[in-house]
Amino acid sequence: MLQGKKTNQPLRTCMEATGRYGDELAYYLYEIGHAVSIVNPLRIRKYTDSKLARNDTDLIAAKAIADFCRTQEPPLWEPPAPEIRVLKEITRRLNTLIEEQTREKNRLTSGISNPIVIASIKENIAFLIQQIALLEAEIQDHIDQHPALKRDQDLLVSITGIGKKTAMIILGELPDINRFENVGQVVAYAGLSPKKHTSGTSVNKKTKSYCHKSCHTP
């Protein structure tokens, strides 16, 4: 990367797939002419494990990603088609609403006894159910308007354990599904394993991908 900077050559950049903020950075780097690779964090983890290296702080993780990029030369990323980018935005909103609905349902079983609070939670759950249904209809309409998306959705639904709702979210997160050689590669790309690591000043569980979380909501 430093060599590219000194010679005014495009930088070869590599990052883990981390969601919206990573996506925005990838678009920016691509638009100014740099080569970008976005890699499933599980691949980075397996690579560092194979070298018996730790990967539990930001600095060490950055060095591991750079080493992976230099030695493994992952395929270059290209921005998805506009219809995919639209789908991603809507499905991520859907995922947010589903998570909020789950949190509200959990609150109902957490021992709350105040009738006003209970009524408020139930009212919000009803609203979320309505909003989720509306978004799902919008997403399906968007998919139906694009034959390639509809074809890929049908293919995903044919995989055991993947329902229509999960397929919607996966379609928004995956690159071109035709790049995968088999079902196993699709499943591997979609899922991330939670792992404890140190980031910044706190220890947290690694954030799961939108795809992985959606698999609990067929």
pLDDT digits (tens, 9 = 90+) for 46-85: 888 887 666 667 787 888 888 898 898 898 988 888 999 8
Report helix, strand or coil for 158. coil
- Return the pLDDT at 22: 82
pLDDT value at position 21?
Answer: 74
Pairwise CA distance, residues 141 & 145, whole Å: 6
What size, in residues, is the chain?
A: 218
What is the pairing mode between strands 196-199 and 202-205?
A: antiparallel
Residue of 33, 29, 32 lying closest to 14 (CA atoms): 29
* pLDDT of res. 49: 82
d(CA 35, CA 51): 26
Quickly state the pLDDT bin for 7 (edges 50, 70, 90). low
Its sign, for the CA torsion 122, 128, 133, 134, is positive
Which helix (DSSP H) or strand (DSSP E) does residue 16 occupy? strand 12-16
Contact between 28 and 15 (Cβ < 8 Å): no
Judge whether residue 140 has pLDDT over 90: yes
Q: What is the distance of C-alpha 57 from the center of its chain?
A: 21
**For the whole model, what pTM was predicted?**
0.67
**Mean local confidence (pLDDT), 149-154:** 92
